[in-house]
Structure 1
Amino acid sequence: MAAPRRDKGRAIRGSGIAIAILIGIALGCIFAFFFPHGFFGPDWPTQTRPFSKSTLQIGSSSCESPERVNMLKADVVSLSEKNAQLNKQVRELTERLRLSEQGKDNAQKQVMALGEQHKAGPFGTVKALRTSPTVLPDESVNPRLAKILDQVAVRKELIVALANSNVKTMLEVWFNSIKRVGITNYLVVALDDQILEFCKSNDVPVYKRDPNDGIDSIARTGGNHAVSGLKFRILREFLQLGYSVLLSDVDIIYLQNPFDHLYRDSDVESMSDGHNNMTAYGYNDVFDEPAMGWARYAHTMRIWVFNSGFFYIRPTIPSIELLDRVADRLARQQNSWDQAVFNEELYFPSHPGYDGLHAAKRTMDFYLFMNSKVLFKTVRTDAKLKKLKPVIVHVNYHPDKLPRMKAVVEFYVNGKQDALEPFPAGSNW
């Protein structure tokens, strides 16, 4: 009888353990339901609070108010839009800050490259930098031209003219005037074989470029303006080789050595199409608009253009950028006039959508570097001005160039006082 009693006791103990396990599981489920975040969570006092009637009413009210839900959704959308706008503003301000810092960094690098930083001096003594440093010469650009320039140039400077057979007669008058003055540092860029042989036969320094389809077609048959536009592409190599160039059209008479009258303090030093102090050097031009009443007068600044047929250009980064800008625009804008583009790139300031050229410029003395309007309209009619001997005379205002060039030689070189009289101040058409 003892064995059955022991088995019965074991069965009772096993049942008790099973019941205890079941009770533990049940209690765990109950506590998990009422205390999902545990007994001691951050919101323990609130979560241990029994459900109240008001709580149930809020839940019920939320479920029963679609208008409230729509309002909350609208608020969410509005806040999202405001957040997007703020993010956009942050991005824009960040970009502005980045560009500002970049500009400061570039300015700092430029100052470091040009020299030591200095404090500003007393009032009236501060002068800004306007003479850019020259580029490092690169003879690999054109070794053949480098050898020619080494023989022709004087102090890394020379006069350069482009010519094709269309201007052969004027070219002869041009280089004879140069020889008469005693200038040796000049070079003709021959645009065809006839000019090449013509210069060689007259002992004139000459250079003919290697074949280039894009340039040669214009060079052989182009008119005055078309050929004039080529110089901005051709001159680039001269500057890259480290030479300053006095670019000259061939409708010019030389009466003195121009290198004795240059300042060399700017990237570009050019003669003007102006005919007096105001037009050559600039003036305040007042525009009148009566409809504006009290503000009817608007002040504008005006200056007559640089002549792109006679200018001195130094081998600097701004100068090379100028040549690139003009050449690029002339290639893209087929009907553009090179002189107009030349001046626009030099003078137009930076503005939204356009970065202006940061080049220093100087206007030459318009009585020394004289255009034909000044000569035929003003100088020849003034007894005192007739005694002035200009450095050059550029017959740019008149289409009858060759006879006027010869008359200039007669007047200034041979002393024939009435040589200029047969010509009108303007042209006949």
Structure 2
Amino acid sequence: MMGGRRDGPLMRNASQSTVKSRILMAIATGISLGCVFAFLYPHGFFSSSAPTFHSRLTQVPSTKCESSEKLNELKTEYAAASIRNAELRQQVKELIEKLKLAEQGKDHAQKQVEALGKQHKAGSFGTVKGLKTNPTVIPDESVNPRLAKFLENVAVQRELIVALANWNVKDSLEIWFTSIKRVGIRNYLVVALDDKIAEFCESNDVPVYKRDPDEGIDSIGRAGTNHAVSGLKFRILREFLQLGYSVLLSDVDIVYLQNPFNYLYRDSDVESMTDGHNNMTAYGFDDVFDEPTMGWARYAHTIRLWVYNSGFFYIRPTIPSIELLDRVASRLAREPKSWDQAVFNEELFFPSHPGYEGIYAARRTMDFYLFMNSKVLFKTVRKDARLSKFKPVIIHVNYHPNKLERMKAIVEYYVNGNQDALKAFPDGSDW
């Protein structure tokens, strides 16, 4: 019986290899086709929105153009945003400044309420005392960090003498700071209005502060007249008060014979020397105005007071004090021909009335024999045997134009003991 055909091992192996090769070829073909379709139809084979290969190629340049335009738009938007950001930063800075001022005002009001808010019974006759001393502001070193650091090394108990000077008053300034050194005063400072006076102070070991450049102030400071320079102090002093320092503002035509800080009361916003020459003119008096045509009512009583001298006054860092400086500086800017001393007194003394709100600042008049003006000295004191032996705290040569000669004579009389040093001078300005 014939047996059936059987394949040998070799044939079986060849057949299996063929099958495997076909399978591998099919897999490779499928993968290749899948890659091609994935490239040509990224959104799917049946998607109607899938772009063709040709459309993809044609869109490349368009995309580059759109990117360039988009980049330019972004640059423009960035520039606009930068400008807006700078504006916002400035607005924020201004708002912070207003907030600080508001907080200072709030602190002032709060302390007033604390002092006055609690109700009290009125005491017995003659014992009632009202509030006189306003609270000081919160020091704000951000106003001028450089000045704040400088004052830490100059001021004593947060107060100091301050004078403004340019080269025009160099000789008077030298007598001024020499007299201060002689008395032993340490807390004083010259605000230099030009480079030459700053160098002069440094060479004489005098504390000097040169302000940051300010074209408006610098032009007046370098070449301004005495009145023009005098008007600057109200703007410059504001920073000292904002930093929390009390200032004894001093002109340079002053000779110091004692330490003025030992004679201050410090109970008012402004404590000033007077242009008055006796008790009446210095401290006030009832002056009767006579108008005969009024008949029975011909006599009208008025209160008179000779003005405070704006060349020597002590000012505390309070809200009313800063308001005073702001008002005077603003008026002098609007009225360049106005005299700073007249404006200073008007703002300090004029009461509130219809259309005007006065400043509610406490004020004190200094003893006119201690803080002496040159009219008192040359018209009265030098001729009086008793008064001529009295030693003032300071003498301000404010009534006479030949300041330097009279300052030297004052030093001769009070420091060197020359009893004839003052005799040659007339009472007034005429020889």
Scaled by the length of structure 1, what TM-score is found?
A: 0.74
Q: Which region of structure 1 is more displaced relative to structure 2, 258-267 or 121-130?
A: 121-130
> 1:191 maps to what in 2?
193
Indicate conservation of the 8 Å contact 1:111/1:117, yes or no.
Answer: no
Indicate conservation of the 8 Å contact 1:158/1:187, yes or no.
Answer: yes
Q: Which amino acid aligns with 2:118?
A: Q
Q: Which amino acid aligns with 2:407?
A: M
Q: How does 1:34-113 map to 2 (within 5 A)?
A: 111-113=112-114
Shift of 1:109: 5.3
226, 230, 233: which one pairs with 2:232? 230
Deviation per residue, 1:318-364 (Å, 9 max, x gap): 00000000000000011110000000001000000000000000000
> 2:177 maps to what in 1?
175
Q: Which amino acid aligns with 2:402?
A: D
- Measured in 2, the distance between the counterparts of 1:365 and 1:132 equals 22
Cα separation, partners in 2 of 1:301 and 1:118, compared to 1, 3 Å: same
The secondary structure found in structure 2 opposite 1:357 is: coil
Shift of 1:382: 0.3
Shift of 1:161: 0.1
257, 263, 266: which one pairs with 1:264? 266
291, 294, 297: which one pairs with 2:296? 294
- Measured in 1, the distance between the counterparts of 2:333 and 2:118 equals 41
> 1:118 maps to what in 2?
119
Shift of 1:214: 1.2
Indicate conservation of the 8 Å contact 1:271/1:363, yes or no.
Answer: yes
> 1:246 maps to what in 2?
248
> 1:370 maps to what in 2?
372
Q: How many residues align?
A: 325
Indicate conservation of the 8 Å contact 2:235/2:325, yes or no.
Answer: yes
- Measured in 2, the distance between the counterparts of 1:155 and 1:112 equals 27
Q: Note if 1:359 corresponds to 2:352.
A: no
Q: Note if 1:160 corresponds to 2:162.
A: yes
Q: Note if 1:418 corresponds to 2:420.
A: yes
Q: Which amino acid aligns with 2:416?
A: N
Indicate conservation of the 8 Å contact 2:134/2:268, yes or no.
Answer: yes
Indicate conservation of the 8 Å contact 1:411/1:417, yes or no.
Answer: yes
> 2:329 maps to what in 1?
327
- Measured in 2, the distance between the counterparts of 1:384 and 1:174 equals 27
Deviation per residue, 1:90-147 (Å, 9 max, x gap): xxxxxxxxxxxxxxx9998564244651312222111111100000000010010001
394, 397, 409: which one pairs with 1:395? 397
- Measured in 2, the distance between the counterparts of 1:177 and 1:117 equals 48
- Measured in 2, the distance between the counterparts of 1:327 and 1:199 equals 27
- Measured in 2, the distance between the counterparts of 1:334 and 1:190 equals 22
> 2:344 maps to what in 1?
342
Q: Which amino acid aligns with 1:164?
A: N
Indicate conservation of the 8 Å contact 2:270/2:314, yes or no.
Answer: yes
> 2:203 maps to what in 1?
201
Cα separation, partners in 2 of 1:201 and 1:109, compared to 1, 3 Å: closer
Cα separation, partners in 2 of 1:292 and 1:376, compared to 1, 3 Å: same
- Measured in 1, the distance between the counterparts of 2:181 and 2:332 equals 33
Cα separation, partners in 2 of 1:106 and 1:401, compared to 1, 3 Å: closer
> 1:131 maps to what in 2?
133
Q: Unmatched 5+ residue regions in structure 1?
A: 1-104
- Measured in 2, the distance between the counterparts of 1:375 and 1:427 equals 13
Indicate conservation of the 8 Å contact 1:290/1:296, yes or no.
Answer: yes
Indicate conservation of the 8 Å contact 1:253/1:392, yes or no.
Answer: yes
Cα separation, partners in 2 of 1:402 and 1:126, compared to 1, 3 Å: same
Q: Unmatched 5+ residue regions in structure 2?
A: 1-105
Deviation per residue, 1:32-62 (Å, 9 max, x gap): xxxxxxxxxxxxxxxxxxxxxxxxxxxxxxx
- Measured in 2, the distance between the counterparts of 1:281 and 1:407 equals 29
Shift of 1:196: 0.6
Cα separation, partners in 2 of 1:416 and 1:353, compared to 1, 3 Å: same
Indicate conservation of the 8 Å contact 2:257/2:391, yes or no.
Answer: yes
- Measured in 1, the distance between the counterparts of 2:208 and 2:326 equals 24
State the superposition RMSD in angstroms.
Answer: 1.6
The secondary structure found in structure 2 opposite 1:253 is: strand
Q: Which amino acid aligns with 1:372?
A: S
The secondary structure found in structure 2 opposite 1:152 is: coil
Shift of 1:420: 0.2
Deviation per residue, 1:298-336 (Å, 9 max, x gap): 000000000000000000000000000000000001111
- Measured in 1, the distance between the counterparts of 2:186 and 2:231 equals 26
Q: Kindly, what percent of the aligned residue pairs are identical?
A: 78
- Measured in 2, the distance between the counterparts of 1:389 and 1:107 equals 39
- Measured in 2, the distance between the counterparts of 1:262 and 1:106 equals 25
Cα separation, partners in 2 of 1:277 and 1:286, compared to 1, 3 Å: same
274, 277, 280: which one pairs with 1:278? 280
Deviation per residue, 1:65-103 (Å, 9 max, x gap): xxxxxxxxxxxxxxxxxxxxxxxxxxxxxxxxxxxxxxx
- Measured in 2, the distance between the counterparts of 1:293 and 1:128 equals 40
> 1:29 maps to what in 2?
none
Cα separation, partners in 2 of 1:107 and 1:222, compared to 1, 3 Å: closer
Q: Which region of structure 1 is more displaced relative to structure 2, 111-120 or 204-213?
A: 111-120
Shift of 1:227: 0.3
- Measured in 1, the distance between the counterparts of 2:382 and 2:248 equals 27
Moved segments of 4+, more than 6 Å: 105-108
> 1:428 maps to what in 2?
430
